[in-house]
Amino acid sequence: MRQVILDTETTGLNPATGDRVIEIGCVELVNRRLTERTFHHYINPERDIDAGAYAVHGLSRAFLSDKPVFAQIAEDLIEFVAGAELIIHNAPFDLGFLDSEFALLKRTPFRAHASNVIDTLVNARQMFPGKRNSLDALCERFSISNTHRTLHGALLDAQLLAEVYVAMTRGQEDLTIDLIDYSANLDASGQTKPLPSNLMVLAASADDCTLHEQILAEIAKASKKDPVWDRAVNTAQ
């Protein structure tokens, strides 16, 4: 599955009153792994930037004055996200701005180019009701370092959100093991059915074992609990 994690920075809070997108950052996940493909542009909004927005991202009109306008990067953005599932924190905000930019170009709404949209803020509020669910709060909750994030930046925030999304959807906060109905393998007399004689047994390679241990270590770190497999080992010893 191909997913694109997207973030924007803007001149203000409301595209309906003329605020514009001034930065877009995207990273790509394929089968839940970050690739090296990214999309990142600063954009000249051709207007002033609200003081409150500037305090968040530090992008000035002077800095953006020689950057491309949105129309110049729109096709490249479409090409990058086409057919992918979008992952956005507080999706209505970013999608509202991007749809507005496409409307100014008399183009199909931006969201129509994606196969689906996942809002990680909605998911986080369901997972952690009553708690802070900002990107910073989620980074802290999942032990993801964001010490280099002094101001908001679209590409950096997309990279952090990718890590948060993988952690959230791995079920690291509380691991549970589904119960198996072993009775399905019993015959009419209650005896275990013999396994087929033609089963092929594939031994895990050294690389497979190393990767497995790395994944277990990541889960244990993010869960902030003693993992169930460590408890089993300690009990056996």
Which positions are annotated as active-site residues?
Answer: 152
Secondary-structure percent of the chain, ordered helix, strand, coil, rounded to 5: 45, 15, 40
Instruction: Locate 190 and state its tokens.
Output: 């209650």
3-state secondary structure of 35: strand
DSSP, collapsed to helix, strand or coil, labels residue 65 as coil
Angle, helices 120-127 vs 154-169, to 10°: value is: 40
Which H/E stretch holds residue 3? strand 2-10
Maximum CA extent, the chain: 82
* Contact (Cβ atoms closer than 8 angstroms) between residue 45 and residue 24: no
Rg (CA), the chain: 23
